[in-house]
Amino acid sequence: METSWNHTTVLLNEAVKALLSNPDADPGDPAAAESTYVDATFGRGGHSRLILSRLGSQGRLIAFDKDPEAVAEADTIADPRFSIRHQGFRHLVELPAASAAGVLLDLGISSPQVDNPARGFSFRSDGPLDMRMDTTRGQSVAQWLATAELNSIAEVIRDYGEERFAGAIAKAIVARRQERGPISTTAELAQLVAGAVKTREPGQNPATRTFQALRIFINAELEELQQALAASLDVLQPGGRLVVISFHSLEDRIVKQFIAAHSRDGYDRRAPFAPPKAMRLKALDRIKPSAQEVAANPRSRSAVMRVAQRTLTP
């Protein structure tokens, strides 16, 4: 019998409200409810379903997700205004220019991904060491660790997990591989990391940073985020909203810096007399979950939502 894992969408109402609002739109423009929006990370569809409930008959919602289980969930939505693409959000670039009134990126992994041991995302339950968002393609973490060089393993754990014991963890992984063969399960990796990490923040499992790092790396999450943010500038209509929910500092830093870089006029030092490139975004808000939401859903505690608006001048 299959097990059903529930997912609670973080910042549900706040994200949809920010996405659909456009106070700068001209009165003669079509209503927001009749526009096209993009949910670039469908997950289990919490944001998508609420967006659809707010759209008019001519509105449209395009969703992306590279997780086959998420796509299967999306296929249960029988709504002609909705479509799902089995692709990562870097494929935003394939949408027509200025075709969307809003783009939403919820960068967190879903609870069904974390809670299902077969997906290999969590150290809390033993399962195959996989961690791929898209299980139909690419290397699993176990496959990569079976052949990766020590320096590469240490670099990934240090850079993507901000783990100060990255070197010791990498040495332990390579030594284990040489002595008894590659690591194949989440429990094996968690136990190995626990033995290599000498101190840890109170309340945090020693394997937390390593699992985060390997997941980010194997799914190229930061590179894909940068590609999607760049694509959003072309996909958004003037006045359209960009809403991004991130769950750790590496993601949030990229989003913050991207919005800041495009929220000011750009000057080319190589051409000092050339006219500046006009700002393309306006930073609007930074929102964190309320105390009530964190109490009801502790997994929301690290979430940060940033909202920006495409400038009216292309």
First-residue to last-residue Cα distance in the chain: 53
CA gap 253, 271 in Å, rounded: 29
Q: Are 185 and 121 in contact (CB under 8 A)?
A: no
Q: How many residues does the chain have?
A: 314
Residue 167 token pair = 């070197």
- Amino acid identity at 293: E
pLDDT of residue 26: 44
| Cα→Cα distances 260→95, 177, 180, 198, Å | 24, 44, 49, 38
User: DSSP label at 25?
Assistant: S
Average pLDDT of the chain is 89
Q: Are 306 and 15 in contact (CB under 8 A)?
A: no
For range 221-247, the mean pLDDT = 96
CA 286, distance to chain mean position in Å, is 17
Bridge partners of 104, per DSSP, are: 39, 243
Burial class from Cβ neighbours inside 10 Å (0-12, 13-18, 19+) for residue 169 reads: buried
Residue 205 token pair = 């499992």
31 CB-near residues (< 8 Å, 6+ apart): 56
Residues of the chain with CATH 1.10.150.170: 135-218
Q: Are 66 and 205 in contact (CB under 8 A)?
A: no
27 band by pLDDT with thresholds 50, 70 and 90 = very low
CA gap 281, 262 in Å, rounded: 5
Lowest mean pLDDT of 20-34, 89-103, 247-261, 297-311, name the range.
20-34
| CB atoms near residue 279 (< 10 Å) | 15
pLDDT of residue 114: 79
Domain 135-218 has CATH 3.40.190.290: no
Query: pLDDT tens digits for 151-195?
Result: 999 999 999 999 999 999 999 999 999 999 999 999 999 999 999
CA gap 69, 112 in Å, rounded: 9
User: DSSP label at 45?
Assistant: S
pLDDT of residue 24: 46
The rounded radius of gyration (Å) of the Cα atoms in the chain is: 21
Query: pLDDT tens digits for 63-109?
Result: 999 999 999 999 999 999 999 999 999 999 999 999 999 999 999 77
Residues of the chain with CATH 3.40.50.150: 12-111+221-310
The top-level CATH class assigned to 12-111+221-310 is alpha beta
The H or E element spanning position 140 is: none
Percent of the chain with pLDDT over 70: 90
